[in-house]
Amino acid sequence: DAKTTQPPSMDCAEGRAANLPCNHSTISGNEYVYWYRQIHSQGPQYIIHGLKNNETNEMASLIITEDRKSSTLILPHATLRDTAVYYCIVTPLGNTGKLIFGQGTTLQVKP
Amino acid sequence: EPEVTQTPSHQVTQMGQEVILRCVPISNHLYFYWYRQILGQKVEFLVSFYNNEISEKSEIFDDQFSVERPDGSNFTLKIRSTKLEDSAMYFCASSVHVAGANVLTFGAGSRLTVL
A66 within 8 A of A85, measured Cβ to Cβ: no
Distances (CA, A) of B75 to A50, A87, B32, B94: 29, 26, 8, 10
pLDDT of residue B80: 96
CA distance B79 to chain A (A): 20
Of B50, B103, B106, the CB nearest to A43: B106
B12 within 8 A of B22, measured Cβ to Cβ: no
pLDDT of residue B74: 93
pLDDT tens digit string along B20-79? 999 999 998 999 999 999 999 999 999 999 989 999 999 999 999 999 998 878 999 999
- Strands (DSSP E) contained in A9-58 are 9-13, 18-23, 31-38, 45-50, 55-56
Percent of chain A residues past pLDDT 70, beyond the cut: 98
The answer to whether the Cβ–Cβ distance between B45 and A99 falls below 8 Å is: yes
pLDDT tens digit string along A30-43? 899 999 999 988 99
pLDDT beyond 80 at B86? yes
pLDDT beyond 90 at A25? yes
Neighbours of B91 (CB within 10 A): 27
Grouping H, G, I as helix, E, B as strand and the rest as coil, residue B86 is helix
pLDDT tens digit string along B1-15? 889 999 999 999 999
B86 within 8 A of B14, measured Cβ to Cβ: no
CA distance B80 to chain A (A): 23
The answer to whether the Cβ–Cβ distance between B106 and A94 falls below 8 Å is: no
Secondary structure (DSSP) of B61-82: --TTEEEE--SSS-EEEEESS-
pLDDT beyond 60 at A1? no
Average model confidence (pLDDT) for chain A?
93
B73 versus A48: the higher-pLDDT residue is A48
Closest-CA residue in chain B for A95?
A: B102
How many whole angstroms from its chain centre is CA B89? 10
